[in-house]
Amino acid sequence: MARLRNRKKKVFLKPIVKKKQEQQQQPNVDPITGNKIPKSFVFSRGKLPGPLRQLQMDLRKLMLPYTALKLKEKKRNNLKDFLNVAGPMGVTHFLILSKTETSPFLRVAKTPQGPTLTFKIHEYSLAVDIAQSQLRPRCPQDLFKNSPLIVLSGFATGDEHLKLTTTLFKNIFPDIDINTVKLSSCQRIVLLNYNKDTKLIDFRHYSIRLQPVGVSRRIRKFVQNHQVPDLRNLQDVSDFVTKSGYGSESEADEEAATVTLTSDLSRVNRASTKSAVKLQEIGPRMTLQLIKVEGGLCSGEVMFSEYGNGGNKKKPDGQEDSEKDNEMEGSDDDNEEEDSDEDIEENEEDDEED
């Protein structure tokens, strides 16, 4: 099947998809749970300024390993082209970034006919900025080899559109089979927190680290770093081992965040010992607001709209509204920046406007 796919790729693809050798052998069906593994495309519509392009890259890294890391898109690509490619490759979700004069937007959609959620990005921080703000930024080698876990908070008591958001986000990442999952493969976590008052969603991305608890700091550092400690001022090795300094600031948090491991994680974290779970932030940070839910893929009837029906017609730089195919039932005219960048249609539209 992989060979077939390659041939198809070279024939009629407009968006050039380059995948690494390993990724070409990615399974479509999870061998253990038997479900289909959700894959995603992260791309942009329209020209994005520099920081937004970085944000797009960060989002791509976030969705690893089941996404196209080096997806290249040309200006003349429509949404339809992406759809055509998505089918044979088993891509199930699209994350589309776009920008208008007011603010950038993020659309999360499920192919081929799925619902589309439009989020307005109020604020965002890039991964680079976050790493620069930290004293000891952490990025181990295989951090992006496994997909992240996802935790949603505050969505449970919401309306339909919140429930839809929950379902959609839960299904963007593959399932976890608790029987066979290895603890060492859960290394990242994505947090979405819904604030009922301001209706804003906080989006955070952390890396998980386990630290054994109950060991004095010195011994722990010694075992982890293999650095010979300085025993100049001590009379005896027992001083080194039994000297207990003040606990670090974060040790008080550990009471609530300790877990008992069921399996060995590394030399230091052994099974059935207590370890503290520590989260360190990586990756982009966003504040989103859900403003629209559509029944189709960037088309179809609007099922929920923050600002009321018919409002919020966006005209991103250069792109014009053009939605010719209305397949879904009773579609309203809420069609924002649609895809076609093609010259012919643009000219037509210009004429119409004039």
Partner 1 sequence: MGKKNEKTLNEPVSTLDLKSMIHENALFFDKLIELIPARFYLSNEKDKPWFQGLSKAEKASAKKQSRENIKKARRDRLDPEKSTKTTLDLLKENLEKEKVIKESDEEEIEVKPIMSDLGNGEEPSVTYEELRQRLRRKIEELRGGRNTGGSDKGKKKIEKKGNVQKKRKRDSGEEEKKVTSSTDRDNVEKDMEEAAKELTFSRVKLGDEEKHGKKKKRKLSKFKELENATKLQEAKKDPEKGEVIAKKHSWKAAMDRAAGIKVHDDPKLLKQSIQKEKKRHQKNVEKWNERVETTEKLKTEKQQKRSDNIAEKIHQKKMRRIAKREKKLLRPGFEGRKDGFINEGST
Q: Which of 8, 163, 270, 315 contacts partner 1 by CB under 8 A?
A: 163
> What is the DSSP pairing of strand 91-99 with strand 70-72?
unpaired
Q: Are 305 and 289 in contact (CB under 8 A)?
A: no
Name which of 72, 67, 61, 79 is nearest 37 in CA terms: 67
Residue tagged 């970085």 (tokens): 54
Q: Is 102 in the site for partner 1 (CB under 8 A)?
A: no
Q: How many residues bind partner 1 (CB under 8 A)?
A: 61
Residue with Cβ nearer partner 1 (77 or 121): 121
Which segment (43-51, 72-80, 98-106, 166-174) binds partner 1 by CB under 8 A?
166-174
Decide whether 77 or 147 has the Cβ nearer to partner 1. Answer: 147
Q: How far is the CB of 280 from partner 1 (least distance, A)?
A: 8
Rounded to 5 degrees, what are φ and ψ at 346? -60, -45
CB contact set of 29 (below 8 Å; sequence gap of 6+): 35, 36, 37
Residues numbered 225-284 forming contacts with partner 1, rule: CB under 8 A: 246-247, 249, 251-253, 255-256, 279, 281
C-beta closer to partner 1: residue 100 or 154: 154
Contacts of 73 (CB under 8 A, 6+ apart): 15, 43, 44, 82
Residue 182 found at the interface with partner 1 (CB under 8 A): no
Q: Does 156 bind partner 1 (CB under 8 A)?
A: yes
Read off the DSSP letter of residue 36.
B
Residue 7-26 contact track with partner 1, rule CB under 8 A, x = bound: --------------------
Sequence-ordered strand ranges (E) for 9-52? 16-18, 39-44
Rounded to the nearest whole angstrom, what is the least distance from the CB of residue 340 to partner 1 in the complex? 22
Does 92 participate in binding partner 1 (rule CB under 8 A)?
A: yes
The CB-of-128 to partner 1 minimum distance in angstroms stands at 15
CA distance 259 to 293: 39
What's the rounded Cα separation, in Å, for the pair 186 and 135? 24
| Candidate list 107, 110, 188, 292; residue touching partner 1; CB under 8 A | 110
- Measured from the CB atom, the residue of 207 and 319 that comes closer to partner 1 is 207
Integer-rounded Cα radius of gyration of the chain: 24
69 binds partner 1 (CB under 8 A): no
Local structure of 193: helix, strand or coil: strand
Q: Give the tokens for residue 5.
A: 């796919």
Question: For strand 104-110 and strand 91-99, is the pairing parallel, antiparallel, or unpaired?
Answer: antiparallel
For partner 1, the binding residues in 25-64 under the rule CB under 8 A are: 31-36, 38
Q: Measured at the alpha carbon of residue 271, what is the angle toward residues 266 and 275, in degrees to the nearest 5?
A: 75
Q: Figure out which of the listed residues 114, 212, 283, 284 binds partner 1, where binding follows CB under 8 A.
A: 114
Residue 180 within binding range of partner 1, rule CB under 8 A: yes
Helical (H) or strand (E) element with 124: strand 116-125
DSSP 270: -
- What is the smallest separation between the CB atom of 246 and partner 1, expressed in angstroms? 7
Binding flag, residue 326, partner 1 (CB under 8 A): no
Binding site for partner 1 (CB under 8 A): 31-36, 38, 92, 110, 113-115, 133-134, 149-157, 160, 163-164, 166-168, 170-171, 173, 175-180, 191, 193, 202, 204, 246-247, 249, 251-253, 255-256, 279, 281, 285, 293, 295, 301, 303, 327-330
